[in-house]
Structure 1
Amino acid sequence: MGSGGGLPGLVWAICRPDLEVTLLDSVKKKCGALEEMASALELPNVRVVWGRCEEYALRERETFSLAGARAVAGTGILLEYLAPFVAVGGTVLAMKGPLYTEEIEPLQGRWNRLGLAAPSIVPYGGDEKKRFLLLWKKNAPCSSRFPRKTGMAEKTFWWR
């Protein structure tokens, strides 16, 4: 989601040619660039979708084994965006910097509202600029109240 320049989606498609990778972005120009990149890289396993995640999740609810994003939104908002896409047994992935702890603190114990277990946290990168993969397993269906209408995730936080 928010695939913009193709990271991490195009990298996943290159590393796992056996998997279909869907790249979702709300900016049509970015989608055009993603289609050109996927074509130039000869990645037949890439599908580019232009649209809002809140609307696309209604059509593709709980159909993906993995949904991930990098540099899209704060963790709480990102979880609301991604959880409706992931099937039970799948994974929600967020790529975060060293301040992720501040973002997840208010969410502690509330993951289950989105059908998620507590996250596993995997550090990666060099010592100077430590990065983290936050991985939530989907252990129950997401509440039917998610996704909410476009813009609601930023206005009214689900965890409060």
Structure 2
Amino acid sequence: MNSINTLLDGIVDLNMELSQEQQNQFIKYKRLLKEWNEKINITAITDDVEIDIKHFLDSLTPIATKLFDGRKKIIDIGTGGGFPGLPLKIFNKELQVTLLDSLNKRITFLNEVIKELELNNIEAIHGRAEELGRTEIYREQYDICVSRAVASLNTLSEYCMPFVKVGGYFISMKGEDVENELKESEKGIETLGGRIIKKQLVKIPKSDIIHSLIIIEKIKETPTKYPRGGGKPKKNPL
């Protein structure tokens, strides 16, 4: 059985604890991640300790914002192997979670994890943020949009902000050095109906990695022309 000792040690540093059921869910999740990773490329991180630090503990750092308490409806854009949405769901059962990824084989994997872990109120959907963000079912329906996806903040904001309801938050999980990105994205975020509240630095336990949580509040509705289609958010950021 895969060990989650590093996760259990690190969770203490985050002032959190895991029940036996939650520990078992993380153990199963890790086993499935490693098994599936041999068939399809989900993650380059395959070492037990590295998975605990760079996937599980990193995914749990947004809990420090206190925004994930209680029954929140959240969407994780570009979730990949389920990060951070699945660990957040394991930690807080009350969260209603949507995991979105553009690769269908990852969605197949995530559905298997959801089934094995017997999680409720969580769905994995295959699609593109620039398309789903324009549909009534998903647009401005979420308390929080969270993303660990690799894209510049101005591009990511256009993908993510349309999902957030007014009064909700978009949380972008970034590296330590984000000052330039913040400056470059300020105007675009304003255009999309948001304002940057703060940059919260978090140290990932059991490592020397510092990450930033960029917290953006949605203060007014996103204009209907956003998100733009055809890859424009990436090619021509706001």
- TM-score tier (shorter): over 0.9
Unaligned runs of 5+ in 2: 1-76
1:6-155 equivalences in 2 (<5 Å): 6-59=82-135, 60-126=138-204, 128-155=208-235
Distance 1:35-1:137 versus aligned 2 partners, 3 A rule: same
Relative contact order higher in (CA < 8 Å, ≥ 6 apart): 1
Inter-partner Cα distance in structure 2 for 1:101 and 1:86 = 24
Question: For residues 29-59 of structure 1, what are the alpha-carbon distances to aligned partners after superposition, in whole Å with 9 as ceiling and x for unaligned?
Answer: 0000111111111111211110011111112
Q: AA paired with 1:96?
A: K
Letter in structure 2 aligned against 1:128: D
Contact kept in structure 1, 2:154 and 2:189, CA below 8 Å: no
State the SS of the aligned residue for 2:157: helix
- Asked if 2 retains the 8 angstrom alpha-carbon contact of 1:52 and 1:150, the reply is no
Q: In 1, Cα distance between the equivalents of 2:194 and 2:178? A: 17
Q: Give 4+ residue runs of structure 1 displaced > 3 Å after superposition.
A: none
Normalised by the length of structure 1, the TM-score is 0.93
Letter in 1 for 2:227: P
SS in 2 for 1:117: strand
Distance in structure 2 (CA, Å) of the matches to 1:148 and 1:109: 16
**Higher radius of gyration, 1 or 2:** 2
For 1:76, the aligned partner's letter is: N
Give secondary structure in 1 for the equivalent of 2:195.
coil
How much has 1:149 moved relative to structure 2? 0.6
1:68–1:94 contact (8 Å) kept in structure 2: yes
TM-score by length of 2: 0.63
RMSD: 1.4
1:110 Cα deviation after fit: 4.4
